[in-house]
Amino acid sequence: MNTFVYETIVSIVEEKSFQKASEKLNITASAVSHAINQVEKKYGFPIFIRNRSEVTLTDNGVKLYPVFRKILAEEKELEKTVQAIQGLESGIIKIGAFSSVCINWLPDILRNYSKKFPHIEIALTQGNFSEISQRVEYEDLDLGFTLLPVSDNVKVTELLKDEIKCVAPADFTPRNGQTITKQDLQGFQFMLQKADYDRDTKKTLDFYDVQPNTINFSIDDQSIVSMVEAGLGFGILPDLALKKLSGDVRIFPFDEPFYRTISLVQSKSESLSPAARALVSEVEAYLN
């Protein structure tokens, strides 16, 4: 079945923009506009309200949107059934992961998997924690690496307790010589990624009485290390993110340990294909 139009509509709703939808689908903006114009002409009424700030659904579009999603889900279920019949000889697995998993785990995992199943295609998407979980829930991804907590609408396999550490300038030593205490942090600024401030990182900073007005948000993990190296403050990053970062800094644990829980999620509403199940086994073998 040709589901291009439905995929286009769903992408526009998610991105709130024709241009961003075209980038997500890797097609031209004119192709997106043409597809929507054709379907609106066929139905006899508009699906979208277009304005300068964003694109939204009309009342009729709101009524149709769940149907479009259902068609895409049924098409995906058909693909899964075909893949199950085909076994592990062919197929595609769509994976979502955040940056430190993409950098530290997936190169080895996917290399080992591809040696065993060379005809299975892997489509990897990097995103933030909430986005990955949501896309798995909507069955846009087969598997996702994310952090707890997640929606109750996905199946969860906990993979690793990842300890959160303090990144300090090279000339800094905590008062007890080993761990960061509340007294060590008085008067210092902290740098972190904004996406982390509503999760385990925030719990850590709240426990250590770090106030929001002393926090500077950075672009990425390496930028945090670089700014700490320059003496602009402290950083806060989990162990996994620190493994392949470089800089003249010192890493200390907090005297009260905090952890983030890295998990693998899948949709509750469908069973995994044989190829995806084999990939889950590869992930578990790698971590063990």
What pLDDT score does 228 carry?
96
What pLDDT score does 76 carry?
83
Q: Give the percent of the chain with pLDDT over 70.
A: 98
Q: Of 148, 138, 107, 112, whose CA–CA distance to 124 is shortest?
A: 107
Average pLDDT value for the chain: 92
Q: Give the percent of the chain with pLDDT over 90.
A: 73
Return the DSSP state at 243.
Answer: T
**Residue 155 belongs to some domain of the structure:** no
What pLDDT score does 83 carry?
67
In order of 2, 46, 57, 256, the CA distances from 62 in angstroms are 22, 11, 6, 49
The domain containing residue 192 runs over which residues? 160-260
Domain match, 165 and 76 both: no
What pLDDT score does 37 carry?
93
Query: Could you tell me the pLDDT band of residue 184, with boundaries at 50, 70 and 90?
Result: very high
**Which of 63, 86, 109 marks a domain boundary?**
86
Neighbours of 284 (CB within 10 A): 12
Number of domains forming the structure of the chain: 2
Query: Over the stretch 87-121, which tens digit does the pLDDT of each residue have?
Result: 677 789 999 999 999 999 999 999 999 998 888 99
Mean pLDDT of 247-273: 93
**Residue 269 belongs to some domain of the structure:** no
The model carries a pTM of: 0.72
What pLDDT score does 51 carry?
84
Write down the residue that tokens 């709240």 correspond to. Answer: 206
**Which of 86, 109, 130 marks a domain boundary?**
86
**Which of 86, 112, 135 marks a domain boundary?**
86
